[in-house]
């Protein structure tokens, strides 16, 4: 295995007891939310905000992120679910061909961003101790840290994969290329994980492995870039007076995160139907542009009402 060339065939979950499995993707979400809670707690303590507001903020953020991400995916990339499998939008099951547990597959970061903004608006209406933009300026620091782990979870799940590199550079996502039904049929091995392992380990199935193309690990590109997004936001917040400029951190977050997303999309496979595909840009890129423009507005144009004379 080389750093820039390797095969990816992970165990995606740990069996805890019986049929209950702890999926690493779910664990990444848990880590993201817990880390976000600790970051916000540090901010609340630093700014002498009553900690009784912290847990409700956490609950609003979790619900807004998950609901927004799921609805965003359906509306932007998989709208056919509305008519073909409506209840799968809200439940971790597919009902299209009988009842099948699938987990919550399909979460869009654009939807999550919109959901968080709406969720913070609703939170601030109930807990009116600071302005909405004050909350957003600080919540986005936690969101940036969480994005690092979400993309790692996507990599573990072999989803949101990159385009074929047409070279020996990249990652061969075996579990993306062969679904669990195909791999058991092609190998004749009933145990799914053992079937995947056989493709890597058994020379008999060398042809199956050779058919898997090398792809860009787009999830890792994003995750790595989001580390710097978080570090920049934290530096500006903790070391510069810009933290007191209302909307600046929120705008900076929008510019940094969605610029990363815009450029990574060039090496990423489409996540569903490309409803918008103008001038060589895909849906994800076009959806990122309004966020970047909004960020520029809050960084350089927006003035809070109390500052207007």
pLDDT at 308 over 60: no
> 6 forms bridges with which residues in the sheet?
171
Pick the range with the lowest mean pLDDT from 78-82, 211-215, 230-234: 78-82
> Comparing 18 with 167, which gets the higher pLDDT?
167
Average pLDDT, the chain: 89
Contact status, residue 78 vs residue 104, Cβ threshold 8 Å: no
Residues in CB range of 132: below 8 A, 6 or more apart: 120, 121, 124
User: Which range has the top average pLDDT, 46-55, 165-174, 272-281?
Assistant: 46-55
Q: Which of 304, 246, 24 is nearest to 150 (CA)?
A: 24
DSSP 29-82: HHHHHHHHHHHHHHHHHHTT--GGGHHHHHHHHHHHHHHHHHHHHHHHH-TTHH
Write the pLDDT tens digit of every residue in 193-202.
999 999 999 9
262-289 pLDDT tens trace: 999 999 998 766 667 778 888 889 999 9
Residues 6+ apart with CB under 8 A from 224: none
Strand-strand pairing, 5-8 and 93-94: unpaired
- Residue pLDDT, tens place only, 60-75: 999 999 899 888 878 8
> Any idea which of 85-94, 138-147, 243-252 has the lowest mean pLDDT?
85-94
Give the whole-angstrom CA distance, residue 156 versus residue 31: 14
Please, are residues 246 and 134 in contact by the beta-carbon 8 Å criterion?
yes
Residue 20 pLDDT: 64
Per-residue pLDDT at 127: 96
Determine contact, residues 102/92, Cβ cutoff 8 Å: yes
Distance (Å, whole) CA 223 – CA 257: 11
Pick the residue with more confidence: 137 or 91? 137
**pLDDT of residue 248 exceeding 70:** yes
Residue 80 pLDDT: 76
pLDDT single digits (tens) 9-26: 988 777 666 666 677 888
Q: Give strand pairing partners of 8.
A: 173
Position 1 pLDDT exceeds 50: no
User: pLDDT value at position 307?
Assistant: 45
pTM of the model: 0.88
103-132 burial code (b ≥16 CB/10 A, e <16): ebebbbbbbbbbbbbebbeebbeeeeeeeb
Q: Is pLDDT above 80 for 182?
A: yes
Q: Check residue 309 and give its pLDDT.
A: 36
């Amino acid at each position: 295995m080389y750093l820039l060339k390797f095969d990816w065939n992970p165990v995606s979950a740990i069996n805890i007891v019986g049929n209950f499995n702890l999926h690493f993707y779910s664990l990444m979400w848990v880590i993201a939310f817990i880390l976000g809670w600790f970051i916000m707690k540090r901010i609340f303590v630093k700014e002498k905000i009553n900690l009784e507001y912290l847990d409700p903020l956490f609950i609003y953020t979790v619900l807004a992120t998950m609901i927004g991400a799921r609805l965003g995916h359906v509306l932007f990339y998989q709208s056919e679910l509305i008519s073909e499998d409506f209840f799968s939008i809200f439940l971790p099951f597919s009902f299209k061909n009988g009842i099948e547990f699938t987990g919550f597959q399909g979460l869009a970061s654009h939807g999550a961003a919109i959901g968080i903004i709406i969720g913070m608006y609703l939170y601030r209406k109930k807990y009116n101790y600071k302005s909405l933009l004050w909350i957003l300026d600080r919540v986005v620091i936690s969101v940036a840290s969480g994005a690092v782990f979400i993309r790692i979870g996507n990599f573990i799940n072999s989803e949101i994969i990159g385009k074929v590199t047409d070279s020996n550079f990249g990652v061969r996502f075996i579990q993306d290329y062969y679904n669990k039904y195909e791999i058991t049929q092609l190998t004749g091995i009933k145990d799914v994980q053992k079937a995947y392992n056989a493709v890597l380990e058994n020379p008999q199935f060398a042809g199956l492995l050779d058919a898997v193309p090398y792809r860009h690990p787009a999830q890792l590109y994003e995750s790595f870039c989001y580390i710097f997004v978080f570090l920049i936001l934290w530096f500006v917040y903790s070391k510069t007076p810009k933290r007191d400029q209302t909307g600046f951190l929120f705008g900076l977050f929008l510019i940094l995160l969605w610029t990363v997303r815009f450029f990574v999309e060039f090496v990423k496979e489409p996540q569903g139907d490309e409803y918008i595909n103008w001038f060589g840009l895909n849906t994800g890129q076009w959806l990122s542009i309004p966020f970047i423009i909004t960020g520029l507005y809050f960084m350089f144009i927006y003035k809070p009402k109390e500052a207007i004379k």
